[in-house]
Amino acid sequence: MPRTTQKIWTDSEKVLVIYFSRSGNTREIAHRIHQIVGGDIVEIEPADPYPEDYNAVVKQAKAELNSGYKPPLKSKIENIESCDVIFLGSPNWLQTIAPPVQSFLSQADLSGKTIAPFITHGGGGSGRSVADIAELCQESTILDALVVRGCKPGKNAIAEWLSKLFRRSHKL
């Protein structure tokens, strides 16, 4: 089960926003979060890009998820051990995180890190995405997720989510 808490996030902590986005929705949210929190931002990219055709992507994703396949990644994250807070973004693909995000979480040692998930979806909510992140990151603290339909959260949804998760010495 995810461990949730309100955390004091200090300016001395190193922040990373990392995400996978096929259609651009998760990328849009990632960049909005990054504008507020700063730190580094990295896009998770599979070595072989997904097809442009939506139905082909669904078919491929279904096959990958059903078989447990974790695609090789093009992106490498340098010095992840120095990060304290990780904002992790994924679209909800078939009720879970996208296979490239599963690949990243399977390869990275995020022990002791605080992970703030953000999930985009087209109508299915977050599904079991947060539980699956917690399963892959058992030695991390998983905070409550921001769940956004498409890429258009309410006007202040991101800032409100951040203020629920973190108390800072200055205003978000």
pLDDT tens digits, one per residue of 142-156: 999 999 987 777 668
Separation of alpha carbons 6 and 44, rounded Å: 27
Separation of alpha carbons 148 and 167, rounded Å: 22
pLDDT tens digits, one per residue of 125-147: 899 999 999 999 999 999 999 99
pTM as predicted:
0.89
Separation of alpha carbons 167 and 172, rounded Å: 9
Residues 6 or more apart from 103 whose CB is under 8 A from it? 44, 46, 70, 71, 72, 73
Q: How many CA atoms lie within 13 A of 1 on its CB side?
A: 3
- In the chain, the domains with their CATH numbers are 7-167 (3.40.50.360)
CA triple 36-38-40, angle to 5 deg:
140
Q: What percent of the chain has pLDDT over 90?
A: 65
| Cβ count near 37 (within 10 Å) | 20
